[in-house]
Structure 1
């Protein structure tokens, strides 16, 4: 991988009166290092060409400019200093207080094969950047379309002459008991470049949230899926937003059966802030009991 010469200049970003220095490093990438299609986490899949970078939502420019950016990890609350080789988006420097901005930062791990990606964003009225963490993406190898070998029945060969546009989409919907599958598929010819599983938890969560949202006021939704021993924050958010529905949870832990109910209109301020809440923790918080 080619590297640019040593750069001494410092990029200063003044955000709400706070000077954040982002030094340009010597490891800025070249376009030849990144051109092509990269897959991995559903949000991080992207195709780089000479004009821009197309992900599943839109096409944005990318800048072959390296540096560092400090962002707060939304999940942990801890600051994270990200050392990147180039970035995608419209703006990461000199972002005003009343502006929203987002970008994706990339760090090349193995040239032409593996990169790390961080989606970072700055809300209006905030000075600091935030991130949900990183994802690993890998470059899709080109398929030899000149071969007549059709023995590989697990792959789909690209259609000759198609100007491929790939997007991630659910090709097999998950159920409450079985994982589904997501494919990186061409919207024109159906060529599939990569596949990844979609957890059955996604179907369980979707059905539970729908049950809460659609429940009549004053009723109780009962959840007794044996695969779960915790609730993501989104479930409590749905209950709080609904306001007039209770959630009863029956579960088994350590060979014992337990039950607790989160009443409608509960006060959640006494709960510890977390992304997931274990059922045993909620059992104590909402005066649950063992079931004989």
Structure 2
């Protein structure tokens, strides 16, 4: 099997089900929990695109695609009014935050991350940035806590391996459009695997579709008919909007009926309902699709 270090943290998995994708899917607000304790957050938390390591001294290391940094974190529960990337307003409830001061003293250009424990062994995070006197945010990311072995009892120098484990994520199996892949959290010295994380086949589908749009010549139409999808994530529309001169034709089957719709080059997306995912039936109505005989 092939492996490629560092790829996992650059991957954002697109996990979709038919039930959620028939219509536009909008993330609902989450009620804030009681303030979290430091014991609940200490350690390593990961998602498909980033890693946070919370330390006892009040610092947190943040690794993400493109860079890393270390900042202070603060065990303060509150809420923050933000403007989401799609332009809608929202209230983010959080149990702790890291980075610049969240409050009246924040200046334009300050950025932070706010976190909300969800009671399921995971927590949500939002990157927020102060712009023109207003906090702006991107869609929530879900983080999972990784429980690594205690180095005193599992990885001390008197152990059989004679070293402290040093783990890194690497892709053990690349995903394809029809099969999931897998990343492993592996010691770079002895190869011990501490955790495994699936990489959805949707990652390969998304990557191939994005490449097709970006590489298409001006005025051309990209056709997409992968039967695994019944909706488009917002970022596919973002790629189309950024490209600007390419149309996207979608052929799909729903409840035994074949449909087709085309998103023309240079389309105006302002009339679409703000959402993270757009169901094909919704887009068919928005862009005037047809039933295929």
TM-score when normalising by structure 2: 0.70
1:225-250 Cα distance to aligned partner (Å, 9 max, x none) = 01111111222222222222121111
The answer to whether 1:41 aligns with 2:47 is yes
Say which one has the larger Rg. 1
After TM superposition, the structure 1 = structure 2 runs for residues 1-292 of structure 1, keeping only pairs within 5 Å, are 29-30=37-38, 34-35=41-42, 37-43=43-49, 45-49=51-55, 52-57=59-64, 58-63=68-73, 65-72=75-82, 74=84, 77-84=89-96, 87-105=97-115, 107=117, 114=121, 116-128=123-135, 130=137, 132-133=139-140, 135-142=142-149, 145=154, 159-162=161-164, 164=166, 166-187=167-188, 189-292=190-293
Query: RMSD value over aligned CA atoms?
Result: 3.4
Q: Note closer, same or farther for the CA distance 1:243–1:108 as it changes in structure 2 (3 Å cut).
A: closer
d(CA) in 2 for partners of 1:189 and 1:226? 41
- Give the SS at the match of 2:228: coil
List gaps (5 residues or longer) in structure 2. Answer: 1-33
Q: Note closer, same or farther for the CA distance 1:250–1:139 as it changes in structure 2 (3 Å cut).
A: closer
Q: How many residues are aligned here?
A: 250
Segment drifting more, 210-219 vs 131-140: 131-140
1:74-115 Cα distance to aligned partner (Å, 9 max, x none) = 48743132233xx433543554332221134365969xxx46
8 A contact 1:39–1:194 mirrored in 2 = no
Q: Note closer, same or farther for the CA distance 1:265–1:55 as it changes in structure 2 (3 Å cut).
A: closer
8 A contact 1:29–1:64 mirrored in 2 = no
d(CA) in 2 for partners of 1:258 and 1:108? 39
d(CA) in 1 for partners of 2:163 and 2:45? 22
TM-score when normalising by structure 1: 0.70
Shift, 1:66, TM fit = 2.8
Shift, 1:267, TM fit = 2.8
More helix per residue: 2
Q: Note closer, same or farther for the CA distance 1:243–1:107 as it changes in structure 2 (3 Å cut).
A: closer
8 A contact 2:81–2:89 mirrored in 1 = no
Q: Which has the bigger relative contact order, CA under 8 A and spacing at least 6?
A: 2
